Structure 1
Amino acid sequence: MSYAHPPGLPIVDAKTPAVLVPARPVTPDEAAGLCAEARALLAATGAGVVLVEVVGPGPPTLGTVDVLARLELTARRAGGRIRLREPAPGLGALLDLVGIRFEMEGQVEQREPALGVQEEVEPGEPAV
């Protein structure tokens, strides 16, 4: 049994993400509206990622974390996810503190070394 492949490249996550920029610092009361906007962006653009610019004066609060967690849950339910664009270091520290991980843009990824890689040994040195 055979079938024709669709033309073009397979759909990958490299599509341009939809961008969500809240106009001001968002309160938990406004989370429902932002979630609806994120859901609409995912449906309208077909992108698998909503890029969220976290803008706000002052240090981030647990209210900010709550709104971001709700956005992530909404995006996951719609078949996507969110990515934070260049978040403040304080927000990254607060997210680490509460144990929530987000994909972040504009930061270097920290990766573990590849498994099975051995260090080079100079001749005459004992193997460890």
Structure 2
Amino acid sequence: MSYGRLAGLPHVDERTPAVLVLAGPVTRDEVTGLCDDVRALLEVTGAGVVVCDVGGLGPPGLAVVDLLARLELAARRAGGRIRLRDPDPALHALLDLVGLRFQMEGEAEQREPALGVEEEVEPGQPAV
């Protein structure tokens, strides 16, 4: 029995996200092209995540925050997300300061505690 070739890249699936390497500094004119690249990577790979390697962006600033926010917006509009790889600790702090939360590569996802799990209480006190 023979099967037809599947569409897309055979070695990429939902567990193998595409990688977009961002080398800085990125000018305002380049932002639109990078947003197009994120949308194209999501479409071509079928993955729900594009990993953005931000290690080469240079010193963090509001221009970098703006770029990442626009890339995340483009990815969400295309039905996906971006995940940051190798962020500078200062960039991580700046993103926290402005209230933007990005998934970082290597970080465990934050989830709700399992149902039915109770916190430990002092002896003699009723469980909450």
CA apart distance, 1:58: 4.4
Gap change, CA 1:64 and 1:112, over 3 Å in 2: same
Gap change, CA 1:114 and 1:77, over 3 Å in 2: same
Which amino acid is the alignment partner of residue 120 of structure 2?
Answer: E
CA apart distance, 1:52: 0.2
Q: Deviations over 1:75-99 (max 9, x none)?
A: 0111111000121111110001111
Gap change, CA 1:111 and 1:49, over 3 Å in 2: closer
CA apart distance, 1:50: 0.3
Secondary structure in structure 2 of the residue aligned to 1:22: strand
CA apart distance, 1:42: 0.8
Moved more, 60-69 or 49-58: 49-58
Gap change, CA 1:89 and 1:109, over 3 Å in 2: farther
Counterparts of 1:1-128 in structure 2, within 5 Å, are: 14-56=14-56, 58-107=58-107, 116-119=117-120, 121=122, 125-127=123-125
Structure 2: 5+ residue runs without aligned partners?
A: 1-12
Does the Cα contact within 8 Å between 2:18 and 2:41 map onto a contact in 1? Answer: yes
The 1-side partners of 2:111 and 2:71 are apart by 26
Which amino acid is the alignment partner of residue 98 of structure 1?
Answer: V
Percent of aligned pairs with the same amino acid: 65
CA apart distance, 1:111: 6.2
Secondary structure in structure 2 of the residue aligned to 1:38: helix
Q: TM-score, normalised by structure 1?
A: 0.74
The 1-side partners of 2:61 and 2:107 are apart by 21
The 1-side partners of 2:20 and 2:91 are apart by 17
Moved more, 99-108 or 38-47: 99-108
Does the Cα contact within 8 Å between 1:24 and 1:55 map onto a contact in 2? Answer: no
The 1-side partners of 2:99 and 2:87 are apart by 16
CA apart distance, 1:112: 6.9
- RMSD between superposed Cα atoms in Å: 2.4
The 2-side partners of 1:114 and 1:93 are apart by 29
Number of residues of Structure 1 aligned to a counterpart in Structure 2: 113
Structure 1: 5+ residue runs without aligned partners?
A: 1-12
